[in-house]
Amino acid sequence: MSTPFYVSPQQAMADRAEYARKGIARGRSLVVLQYADGIVFVGENPSRALHKFSEIYDRIGFAAAGKYNEYENLRIGGVRYADLRGYTYDREDVTARGLANVYAQTLGTIFSSAGEKPYEVELVVAEVGETPEGDQIYRLPHDGSIVDEHGSVAVGGNAEQISSYLDQRHQDGMTLAEALRLAVQALSRDTNGSEREIPAERLEVAVLDRTRPQKRKFKRIVGGQLSRLLDGSSADPSASEAGSGEE
C-alpha cells in the first residue's frame, strides 16, 4: 500500500494564498479615495456592461478586482443581506462594517476549505458618513481578513505600487476633480514606472456623494460630466445627466 502524499497545513495555506494572489494580479487595478464630499471609485474597465463598482445600499458602495463571476456572486449576496436586514430591522442597521463581516466569513470559509478553490477576488466595501470623519473603507483580501483603510486604497493588478503613489499624494479635503485626476494618474503608471494614457471611455467612475439629498448616495459618473472632471472643469456630481444615474 502506497504512502499518502502529505502536505503540511502551513504549506497548503501558502499555496492557496499564492494561487488567489496570482489570479487577482491578472486583473486591472482599481482605486477608492476619499474626497471632500464623499468617496470616489475609479478603475480601468473597457466593458460598459460588466461593472467593478456597484451600490449595495443607501450609503454603501462595493468595488472588486479579480474574477467577475466570483465577485458578482458576492455582490448579489451582499445586496440580499442588506435588503433583508434593512427590512427586518431598520435602514440605519445596514452598515459597511456589518457587510464586511459577512463577506469576511464567506471568503474565510471558502479559503480554508479543502473541498474548493479559494476565490480569486479582493473586495472594497465603503460607506459615506455625514462628515469625512464618518467615512468607512474596508478592504477584504482573498483570505477573508478585514483591513480598515483611510484616505485611499488600491486593489488588483499592481496595487502595491499604486497604493504607494497614492499615499504620497492623496490629501484630505480634495475636490472630486482633484481626487479623480490623482486616481487616473496612479492607474496609468506601469510597473516599470512609465505612464500611459487611459481615455475617459475606458474608465469606470462612481461616487458616494454625501451632499445628495436622496437617501441613495451612489452615482455613476460618465459621459460629458466625466470628461469635464478630468479636464479640471467644475461639475456637480449630483446634477442630472443622461446615462449617469444608478442602475
Sheet architecture: strand order including 152-155: 152-155, 30-35, 38-44, 203-209, 218-221
Average pLDDT over residues 202-208: 96
Q: Is the dihedral of CA 41, 47, 48, 49 positive or negative?
A: negative
Q: What is the pLDDT of residues 91-126, one digit of tens each?
A: 999 999 999 999 999 999 999 887 789 999 999 999
Average pLDDT over residues 219-240: 76
Per-residue confidence (pLDDT) for residue 5, from 0 to 100? 65
Per-residue confidence (pLDDT) for residue 190, from 0 to 100? 67
Helix, strand, or coil (residue 25): helix
Q: What architecture does CATH give domain 9-231?
A: 4-Layer Sandwich (3.60)
Question: Alpha-carbon distance 116 to 7, whole Å?
Answer: 17
Average pLDDT over residues 1-7: 62
Average pLDDT over residues 208-237: 86
Q: What is the pLDDT of residues 19-42, one digit of tens each?
A: 999 999 888 899 999 999 999 999
**pTM more than 0.75:** yes
Q: Where is pLDDT greater, at 5 or 157?
A: 157
User: What does the domain layout of the chain look like in residue ranges?
Assistant: 9-231
Per-residue confidence (pLDDT) for residue 237, from 0 to 100? 46
